């Protein structure tokens, strides 16, 4: 009963000020963030004494809270979808993993902050700037990590992207002296009350932006010449080359495109959490890869759905089991997929690697 009281206070607190549920940084990784960055007394108490909702039966409010946490998670999941798309596109075109992708996305968000501080522009441009810098970083990563390393050697490119990940992280640490930087959130004061539910304006804006970028990306892939070339290379590299498509060029452009998507995702993550920290990059890499696999390698619709699924799922378990156990259940979801549906939600057509 004591536990339910605490949970009640917790959820009440959460409902009262929906702009910051729990410790927002912990949305990404409680384990790293809370020990190093967020050692507030209030947070610590909540963190240690978390008991979850009352196990004896679901009351009406708990039911509402459950739905609310799923909704919040799905809204945040749009960022996971974007990251998953980035991993999946690179995998589809090159059959390689770009482990530095999440770090590059965070790096792009940082870069947009720097540009915004130099050029006075409305805050909404930050997403555009993040996308642009993400594209540039993506191109650079292609050149240093993939262009000059033999294609037939998957281990070498895996390692070089790890090197790039460490390098980007360290550049950020170096430039910010390791202190998390506040990131502007748009519409964070807008709270929509829909019946018993509250929807955060910043999360909804993020979700809408995520959907918009996904639509633009799909349009690019299915309606332009570059998109046709990209899909051709991912389906039949040899035949594509015979048709006169330059594979290095398509690969490089794919990196630029995924970089743009990643930059927007990085800005969205920064806006949703309120801070940027290099500590975000490893947990986000893990989440992005999980989303990629759950969605099915190389499948963009799969990555979108899997991102929303993982977002909702993890927030649901954060509500029930606390922030420390949350990711364990995400891993279990992944294992369940690997055992029962190894191809992911949308498995690629048979005959491909």
Partner 1 sequence: MDFYLGLAQIVGVHTLLGLSAYCVLLTGQVSLAQAGFFAIGAYVAAMLTVLAGWHILPAIVAASFVAGVVACAVGFPALRVKGLMLVVATLAFGEAVRLFFFNFDYQVARGEVKIGPAGGEGFRQIRFFPEHGWSTLDVLLFIWLFVALVMAALWWMDRSRAGAVLRAVGEDEVAAQSAGINVTAVKVAAMTVGGLIAGLGGGIFAHYTAHIEHAQFGVALATFAIAYPILGGLSSVFGTLIAVIFVQGFLIEGLRFLGDWRNLLFGGLILLAMNVRPRGLIDAATIAAIKRMRVRNREPGNARTEGAE
Q: Give the angle subtended at the CA of 253 by the CAs of 252 and 256, to the nearest 5°.
A: 95
* Per-residue b or e along 201-224, where b marks 16 or more CB atoms closer than 10 Å to that residue's CB: bbbbbbbebbeebbeebeeebeee
Whether the CB-CB separation of 118 and 300 falls below 8 Å is answered with no
Q: Under rule CB under 8 A, which residues in 24-43 are in contact with partner 1?
A: 31-32, 35
Q: Under rule CB under 8 A, which residues in 301-340 are in contact with partner 1?
A: 324-325, 327-328, 331-332, 334-335, 338-339
- Asked whether position 181 contacts partner 1 by CB under 8 A, the answer is no
- Asked whether position 162 contacts partner 1 by CB under 8 A, the answer is yes
- Asked whether position 155 contacts partner 1 by CB under 8 A, the answer is yes
Beta strands in 158-312 (DSSP E): 181-182, 191-194, 197-200, 275-276
Residue closer to partner 1 by CB (options 235, 286) is: 286
- With contacts defined by CB under 8 A, name the span among 105-113, 189-197, 250-258, 281-289 that binds partner 1: 281-289
Single out the residue of 159, 161, 171 nearest to residue 141, CA to CA: 161
- With contacts defined by CB under 8 A, name the span among 216-224, 236-244, 263-271, 288-296 that binds partner 1: 288-296
- Asked whether position 289 contacts partner 1 by CB under 8 A, the answer is yes
- With contacts defined by CB under 8 A, name the span among 2-10, 17-25, 149-157, 206-214 that binds partner 1: 149-157
- Asked whether position 285 contacts partner 1 by CB under 8 A, the answer is yes
State the burial class of residue 119 (Cβ atoms within 10 Å of its Cβ: 0-12, 13-18, 19+).
exposed
Q: Under rule CB under 8 A, which residues in 54-73 are in contact with partner 1?
A: none
Closest distance of CB 24 from partner 1, Å: 19
In this chain, which of 5, 67, 342, 352 binds partner 1, going by CB under 8 A? Answer: 342
Whether the CB-CB separation of 163 and 141 falls below 8 Å is answered with no
Closest distance of CB 234 from partner 1, Å: 14
Single out the residue of 75, 109, 60, 43 nearest to residue 277, CA to CA: 109
Residue closer to partner 1 by CB (options 172, 257) is: 172
54: left (phi over 0), alpha (psi -120 to 50) or beta: beta
Q: Count of residues binding partner 1 (CB under 8 A)? A: 52
- Asked whether position 159 contacts partner 1 by CB under 8 A, the answer is yes
- Asked whether position 45 contacts partner 1 by CB under 8 A, the answer is no
- With contacts defined by CB under 8 A, name the span among 152-160, 181-189, 234-242, 258-266 that binds partner 1: 152-160
Residue closer to partner 1 by CB (options 157, 230) is: 157
Single out the residue of 104, 108, 224 nearest to residue 167, CA to CA: 104
Residue closer to partner 1 by CB (options 166, 215) is: 166
What is the C-alpha radius of gyration for the chain, rounded to an integer number of angstroms? 21
- Asked whether position 102 contacts partner 1 by CB under 8 A, the answer is no
* CA separation for the pair 235, 232 (Å, rounded): 5
Residue closer to partner 1 by CB (options 96, 231) is: 96
> Would the CA dihedral through 336, 341, 346, 351 be positive or negative?
positive
The gap from C-alpha 199 to its chain's centroid, in whole angstroms, comes to 20
Whether the CB-CB separation of 108 and 259 falls below 8 Å is answered with yes
Residue closer to partner 1 by CB (options 197, 329) is: 329
Closest distance of CB 129 from partner 1, Å: 24
Q: What are phi and psi of 100, to 5 degrees?
A: -85, 5
Distances (CA, A) of 201 to 9, 25, 97, 281, 307: 24, 18, 34, 25, 20
- Asked whether position 292 contacts partner 1 by CB under 8 A, the answer is yes
Q: Where are the alpha helices (DSSP H) in 95-200?
A: 101-118, 125-141, 154-176
- Asked whether position 160 contacts partner 1 by CB under 8 A, the answer is yes
> Would you give the DSSP letter of residue 347?
P
Residues of the shown chain interacting with partner 1 in the complex, contacts defined by CB under 8 A = 31-32, 35, 91, 95, 97, 99, 144-145, 148-150, 153-160, 162-171, 173-174, 282, 285-286, 289-290, 292-293, 297, 324-325, 327-328, 331-332, 334-335, 338-339, 342, 353
């Amino acid at each position: 009963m004591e536990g339910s009281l605490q949970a009640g206070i917790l959820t009440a607190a959460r409902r009262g000020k929906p702009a910051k549920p729990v410790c927002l940084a912990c949305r990404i990784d409680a384990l790293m963030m809370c020990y190093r960055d967020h050692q507030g007394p209030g947070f610590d108490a909540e963190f240690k004494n978390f008991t979850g909702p009352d196990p004896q039966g679901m009351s009406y409010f708990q039911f509402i809270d459950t739905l609310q946490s799923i909704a919040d998670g799905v809204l945040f999941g749009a960022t996971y979808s974007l990251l998953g798309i980035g991993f999946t596109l690179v995998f589809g075109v090159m059959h390689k993993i770009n482990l530095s992708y999440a770090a590059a996305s965070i790096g792009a968000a940082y870069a947009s902050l720097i540009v915004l501080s130099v050029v006075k522009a409305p805050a909404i441009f930050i997403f555009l700037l993040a996308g642009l810098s993400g594209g540039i970083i993506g191109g650079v990563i292609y050149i240093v990590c993939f262009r000059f390393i033999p294609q037939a050697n998957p281990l070498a490119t895996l390692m070089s992207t790890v090197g790039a990940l460490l390098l980007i992280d360290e550049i950020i640490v170096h430039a910010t002296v390791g202190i998390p930087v506040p990131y502007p959130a748009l519409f964070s004061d807008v709270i929509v009350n829909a019946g018993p539910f509250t929807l955060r304006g910043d999360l909804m804006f993020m979700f809408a932006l995520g959907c918009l970028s996904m639509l633009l990306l799909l349009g690019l892939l299915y309606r332009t010449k570059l998109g046709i070339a990209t899909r051709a290379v991912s389906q039949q590299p040899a035949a594509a080359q015979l048709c006169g498509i330059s594979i290095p060029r398509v690969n490089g452009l794919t990196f630029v495109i995924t970089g743009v998507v990643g930059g927007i995702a990085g800005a969205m993550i920064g806006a949703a959490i309120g801070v940027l920290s290099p500590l975000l990059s490893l947990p986000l890499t893990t989440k992005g890869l999980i989303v990629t696999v759950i969605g099915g390698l190389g499948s963009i619709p799969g990555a979108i759905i899997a991102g929303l699924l993982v977002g909702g799922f993890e927030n649901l378990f954060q509500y029930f089991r606390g922030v420390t156990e949350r990711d364990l259940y995400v891993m279990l979801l992944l294992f369940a997929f690997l055992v029962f549906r190894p191809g992911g939600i949308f498995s690629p057509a048979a005959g491909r690697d």
